Structure 1
Amino acid sequence: MPPASLKTRARLSEVRYEIRGELARRARELEGQGRQLIKLNIGNPGAFGFRAPEHLQRAIAGRIADTDPYTHQQGLPAAREAIAAQHRLRGTPHVNPERVFVGNGVSELIDLSLRALLNPGDEVLLPSPDYPLWSASTILNDGRPVYYRCAPENGFLPDPDEIESLISPRTRAIVLINPNNPTGATYPRELLERVVAIAAKHHLLLMADEIYDSILYDGATFQPLAPLAGDVPCLSFGGLSKVHRACGWRVGWAVLSGDPLASGDFHHAMDLLGALRLCANVPGQFAIEAALHGEDTIAPLCAPGGRLYEARRAVIDSVAASEHLELVAPAGALYAFPAVTGAAAHGFDDHGFALELLESEDVLVVPGSSFNVPYRNHFRVTLLPQPDDLREVFARIERVLQRRAEAATASRVAVA
């Protein structure tokens, strides 16, 4: 008699993370066969030759002898003070080191914060498209994602009136991702002020995923949410992974601002959950002060002539030259989110396209529907490869889309 199948949690069937999912597994199989792939599915700077800045590496190396013990569950005191100091410079109210939480990347802190907040059936307002970890963490903490649209025709910016219309008695939080992953949109102050007013009116927690805060192009600006939130409880997320190109160090933080009396119970819940995992990775925390108050190494990469700027320009130019693509140019972050249009979009399925692109052209992208949108004509690429590599990628994408457009046109002619 065969052994009984080991059952897993039922809610896992609702969770999607295609960034490292089925297509990525197929890519590994192809690499095992000796295929050379261009993988644009993950915003992982180190995989594309970027290095964490040397002054951050030295900060860790100089304190390596002090990294053996556990530290406080909320993080090293000096690291939390450096994070609090950055937020004070931004004008964040009610911020001090006791309200800073250091985690094993922002991903862990998103999960911990939702676990601290949600009861079964509680709702979280999430952007569509979203970074799918937010949806997954909401579901796995027994909550319900409710999506507000960030439509391409509106530059991927949300409509505050729609956000408010989605609020129910079970709504607990509004999540904003700014600069946005996957679209690269950056949110203007006036829009953020309207969202703050909605959160204040309905007594909701604001959750601001600001991991890409300094990755900006062509004069785009970043407006942090916490200074606008004032006394409204706000949890702001940042880290070393993207701006400082240190994904593998797994160093993220969350800063709780707003009226301390209104968020005291939530603070204690976060502290308890942090204690249950003992503490975050210690060595990387010694780089936080140098990262936040030392040399700015990201701005040159985002300025004309800088590698990220020129990679972004290669994508914009390639889309402009395409017969089959449109793009809202990303103002920030590390991604572009092109749309397939015209004849190539007839009967288009983003997952099928991504699989064909992988199998026939050795390029791995992420289907747009993986980011919890109702349409299926987008895909995401990262801006981390060299500009010439991105031009080659889009030449391959154009070949696939041209074949699809020709097949769609031939099909329509045959029917006629």
Structure 2
Amino acid sequence: MSPITFNKRLSQIPEGVLHKYLELATDPTILSLSVGEPDFPTPFHIRQAAIDSIQQGKTFYTPSKGLLTLRKEISATMSRKHHLDYDPGTEIMVTVGASEALEAAFVALLNPGDEVILITPAYITYVPLIIMCGAVAVPIKTTADNGFKLTAEALTSAISDKTKVLVLNYPSNPTGGVMTHEDYEAIACVLRDKDILVISDEIYSELIYGIKHASIAQCAGMKEKTILINGFSKAYAMTGWRLGFVCSSPEILKNMAIYHANAILCPQTISQFAGIEALKNGDDDIKYMRDQYDMRRRLVVDRLNKMGLPCATPLGAFYAFPDISSSGLSSMDFCSALLQTKKVAVIPGNAFGAAGEGYVRFSYSYSLQHIKEALDRLEAFMNEIK
């Protein structure tokens, strides 16, 4: 048999550094601060809704775009919380996690040679998906100096006649950076007269501290140009349920739905019933978990700064992104040495692109006891390498 030939674009995808560290999280001898997953169980009333659907025999296929009841709840939630109105019949689609929504958006929008502007450091999935579409990622480097925000000047410099899409991810993974409505207005001024679409990954919209979440879709003239992606994993501690959604114009959603229907047919039925309950009655759960993350956030940032690792206070998500350049080590060497000597796993910043070099990502989606022990080991490590 001749050697099997595979899709050539697969060989262009960078090695998944993050996945190596995520595997370490399963090692009981390792104290991991690497996984971006809530440590809380899915709230009982949400689990019960799924159990009820099973017991009632509601286990059949649903419409490809998801249960209309769930889409109506998503519509109501977007209106109530974000003052954005989407038609549940034509402008909302339920997906297998926010990740599938991202994939469907890229596949629907991109042709070979199109350019996609990314705000870096960036979530690791974006570049591989762009490569698989034959498109080109154009990174914009952000820094801690301004909270890892995109500026109108940087965006203008990155735009070319090949630019098709701008990807936004605020609150940000990995930096915890947040954009305000005023920040988005400046970006919208650049985009309004251009044929550039926006994919806005807002999966951490409920995990924001001290300020109100903003979306570029709220800016005048931007809703129809924006593919807004969100989900249930982070807000409701539902990572394993694989439930997300996308809101956009009927034209864009119609084309995304072609890929979606052929790739997965429909989202998981049981998860959708759980999602309905989450949206109806889950606000108190969100507040409780957010308050816990906030407590951990303040502890982590305070300890990191005191041990000589400058860390801007993250305003969203559940990540801290300290500057480790004072250690004299690269991001990868820092993480490798910390793992080998202290059995603590964190993610090297360059896993999120070249702009992340000199940083590491700490997740504080762990118990306080777990976090304190990991920070104690980190402090001992820092004292040893000084």
Name the CA distance, whole Å, in 2 between partners of 1:375 and 1:78.
41
Aligned with 2:200 (options 182, 205, 208): 208
Query: Which residue in 2 is equivalent to 1:11?
Result: 9
Shift of 1:310: 2.0
Match of 1:71 in 2: 62
Look up the match of 1:58: 48
Q: Percent identity?
A: 28
Structure 2 counterpart of 1:327: 311
Q: Which has the larger radius of gyration?
A: 1
Could you say what the CA RMSD is over the residues aligned between the two structures, in angstroms?
A: 2.0
Question: What displacement does 1:336 show?
Answer: 0.8
Equivalent residue, structure 1, for 2:79? 88
User: SS at 2:203's partner residue?
Assistant: coil
Corresponding position of 1:21: 19
Give the equivalent residue in structure 2 for 1:283: 270
Equivalent of 1:256, from 219, 238, 248? Answer: 248
The code of the aligned residue for 1:9 comes to: N
Task: For 1:17 and 1:76, locate their aligned partners in 2 and report how far apart those are by CA, in whole Å.
Answer: 37
Using a 3 Å threshold, how does the CA distance of structure 1 residues 206 and 27 change in structure 2: closer, same or farther? closer
Please state whether the residue corresponding to 1:98 is helix, strand or coil: coil
Given candidates 352, 364, 380, the residue that maps to 1:371 is 352
**Aligned-partner SS, 2:247:** strand
Give the secondary-structure state (helix, strand or coil) at the position aligned to 2:219.
helix
2:86 and 2:247 in contact (8 A); partners too: no
Q: Is residue 127 of structure 2 the alignment partner of residue 135 of structure 1?
A: yes
Distance 1:367 1:7, change over 3 A: farther
Equivalent residue letter for 1:331: L
Amino acid aligned to 1:322: M
TM-superposed CA distance for 1:103, in Å, is 1.0
1:40 corresponding residue in structure 2: 33
**Which amino acid is the alignment partner of residue 60 of structure 1?**
A
CA gap of 1:44–1:80, structure 2 versus 1, over 3 A, is: same
**Contact 1:100–1:255 (CA under 8 A) maintained in structure 2:** yes
Distance 1:97 1:388, change over 3 A: same
Q: Secondary structure at the match of 1:44?
A: coil
Other structure's SS at 1:41 match: coil
After superposition, give the CA deviation of every residue in 1:126-170 in whole Å (9 maximum; x if it has no partner): 110111111221111111111122211111111111112211111
Tell me, in whole angstroms, the C-alpha distance in 1 between the residues paired with 2:150 and 2:272.
34
Q: Could you say if the C-alpha distance between residues 396 and 386 of structure 1 is closer, same or farther in structure 2, counting changes exceeding 3 Å?
A: same
1:198 matched residue in structure 2: 190
Which of the residues 312, 331, 339 maps onto 1:358? Answer: 339
* Distance in structure 1 (CA, Å) of the matches to 2:83 and 2:20: 43
Aligned length: 381
Equivalent residue for 1:411?
Answer: none
Q: Is 1:301 the equivalent of 2:301?
A: no
Residue by residue over 1:308-327, the C-alpha shift from the partner in whole angstroms, topping out at 9 and shown as x without a partner, is 1221122012112203x010
Q: 1:291 to 1:380 in 2, by over 3 A?
A: same
Q: CA deviation at 1:328?
A: 0.7
CA contact (8 A) 1:74 1:271 kept: yes
Report SS of the residue matched to 1:244: coil
Query: Which residue type is aligned with residue 367 of structure 1?
Result: P
SS at match of 1:238: strand
Contact 1:314 1:388 in 2 (8 A): no
Normalization by structure 2: what TM-score? 0.92
Unaligned runs of 5+ in 1: 406-416
The alpha-carbon deviation at position 5 of structure 1 amounts to 4.8
Partner of 1:311: 296
CA 1:85–1:354 in structure 2 vs 1: closer, same or farther (change >3 Å)? Answer: same
1:211-265 deviation digits (Å, cap 9, x = unpaired): 1111122x122113322254532111111100100100000001114xx5xxx2x
Name the SS for the 2:118 alignment partner.
strand
